[in-house]
Amino acid sequence: MRAVLLACAGVACAFVAPAWRAPVLRPSLSVASSVEEMDALIDELAEVEPFDLPAKVRQETVLRRVGRPQFFLRIAERCDAEGEAARDRLAALAGNLQATLSAVVEVAEQKMDDASDVLQEIVVAAAEADGEFLVPLSAERFAALQAAAWRRVDDRSLSGRGGGAAGGGGAAAAASRGAFLGGGAAAVFLGGLSSAFL
C-alpha cells in the first residue's frame, strides 16, 4: 500500500510539475565563513567595555547573531580550546551578553505592554455603553474613537516617537498632529478609521 501511495505521489508530482526533482541535500559552503564571522564578533564584543555592550548588542545586525543559541555554543567551544585567561574573558562576555539580552527582552516586553494599553484605550472608546460594537460606528462613538486616538498622538504614545508630556494642547498639539499626518502607521490607522467604521 505504501509503495502505491508513493507511486501515486510521484505521478501526481510529475503531472503537476514535470520539472520537479527530489531535493538534493548539499553541505553548506558558508559554515566556515559563519564560524569565522561568529569568532570575529566574539572577539569584537570581548573588547567592548561592559557598560557599552548594551548599545552594541542593540544594533539589529549584532542582535540577530548574538540572540542565537549557536553563538553561545561557539563561545563555549572557544572556552574549551583557549587558555585560562581567554576562558575567563569569554565566560565574562557570555555572562554580560546574557544579562544584556535579558534587559533587551524586558524592554521589548514593556513596549508591547504599553502598546497593548494604548490600543485597548482606543478600542474601548469605540464601544457602546453596554460594551458592544456597532458597525458602522455611530457618530458619537466615532468621535470618541478619534478623540482617544488624538490624545495618544498628542502625548506621543501613538506616534512611535517615545513618551512626551501628557496633554499638551495648542501649538504643541497642532505641531504633533501635523507631524503625525506626514505618515507612519498611526496615520494609516486614523485614516482607515473613517473608511472602516463610517
pLDDT tens digits for range 111-153: 888 888 888 888 888 888 888 888 888 889 899 988 888 888 8
Q: pLDDT per residue over 44-93, tens digit each?
A: 999 999 889 999 998 989 999 998 999 999 999 999 988 888 999 999 99
Q: pLDDT per residue over 11-45, tens digit each?
A: 334 334 445 555 554 545 456 668 899 999 999 99
Q: How would you write 101-129 as a 3-class SS string?
A: HHHHHHHHHHHHHHHHHHHHHHHHHHCCC
Query: What residues have CB less than 8 Å from 34, skipping those under 6 apart?
Result: 28
Q: pLDDT per residue over 84-117, tens digit each?
A: 889 999 999 999 999 999 988 898 899 888 888 8
Q: State CA 74 to chain mean position distance.
A: 25
Cα 163 to Cα 186: distance, rounded to the nearest angstrom: 15
Q: Where are the alpha helices (DSSP H) in 25-83?
A: 31-47, 53-57, 60-66, 69-81
Average pLDDT of every residue of the chain: 73
The pTM is what? 0.54
The number of residues in the chain equals: 198
Residue 180: exposed, middle, or buried by beta-carbon count in 10 A (0-12, 13-18, 19+)? buried
- Angstrom distances, CA of residue 64 to CA of 54, 58, 68: 14, 9, 7
Query: What residues have CB less than 8 Å from 189, skipping those under 6 apart?
Result: 149, 158
For the chain, give every domain's residue range: 29-109, 127-197
Q: Are 57 and 63 in contact (CB under 8 A)?
A: yes
Between the two ends of the chain, the Cα-to-Cα distance in Å is 59
